[in-house]
Amino acid sequence: MLSGALPGSATTLASASLGCGSAAALYLLILRPTTREPSGQLLRSALGGAMLLTGPLIALFYPRAIAATSLTISLALTPVVIAVCAAATRHSSETLAGRLWPGLAAIAGLLLLLIQPSLSNPGVDLVLALTPLLTGCGAVLFCSARASLWRLPAALLGACAVLGLGAAINFATHVGGWPDMAGIAAGFDALEALLALIALGRLSATRWSAQFAIVPLIVLVEGVVMVPASVPARTIVGLLLLAFAAVALLIPPSEESRFDLRTSRPGPAHSD
């Protein structure tokens, strides 16, 4: 909507890099953290931020346009990636099946509602595979870092470095330029990156990933409401699957709650 109303304000690698760097600088300027953080924790936060913030924008590194519907379906795989990563870090597969089904339900719902992506181009296939992998693994890695005042700016600076490298390559090869309204785009990108990391820090990675089912659900429901016509059964089933997936991802797993009660200690904030 903003890109249509304000031509030139769409997100680019340059605007995203500038936005992440500006958000990190503003955060450090306001909070002024004085405590020192181990280099290992800073590196974990920076790498996690670089992955999870770059993942949804990885298509900007590809020289050709990729269909938005394909990227939406690809991002819906993020909860599946998070479930596998969480099970791998815990060295346990007891609850893996229960964690997988919400993401798979979201994928099934989107496949019923959107045009299925074409998997005939290896470059596009790689982008669609990297999108959920980077986003999901980055979210788990960011949550595994110790919560401190340095975690968020380190993540923003890590993303700023990766996105800035991509923007520099584009400028050097004359693939992209500096749009007229890049400043507005950078402001929106800064706000989006900052809010995404704050939400991820307060929620678990699994609950944070519910956005990849909720946002398509809201947009598709708006489309059904704004275009009064007979709704086919295929659409109803797809919307229901998306709704069930979103609710299941938002509700904390009952298995973890029972485990925390048995051990009489709160579960770690970064357990997902």
User: ∠ at Cα 89 (88, 93), nearest 5°?
Assistant: 40
**Low-confidence winner among 6-15, 147-156, 228-237 (lowest mean pLDDT):** 6-15
pLDDT given at position 236: 92
pLDDT greater at residue 219 or residue 252: 219
Nearest Cα neighbor of 192 from 217, 167, 211, 179 is 211
Q: Is the model's pLDDT at 173 over the cut of 70?
A: yes
pLDDT given at position 192: 92
**Domain definitions of the chain by residue range:** 2-263
pLDDT given at position 114: 92
CB distance 104 to 78 below 8 Å: no
Residue 180: pLDDT band (50, 70, 90) is: low
CA distance 184 to 19: 10
Residue tagged 């990190």 (tokens)? 24
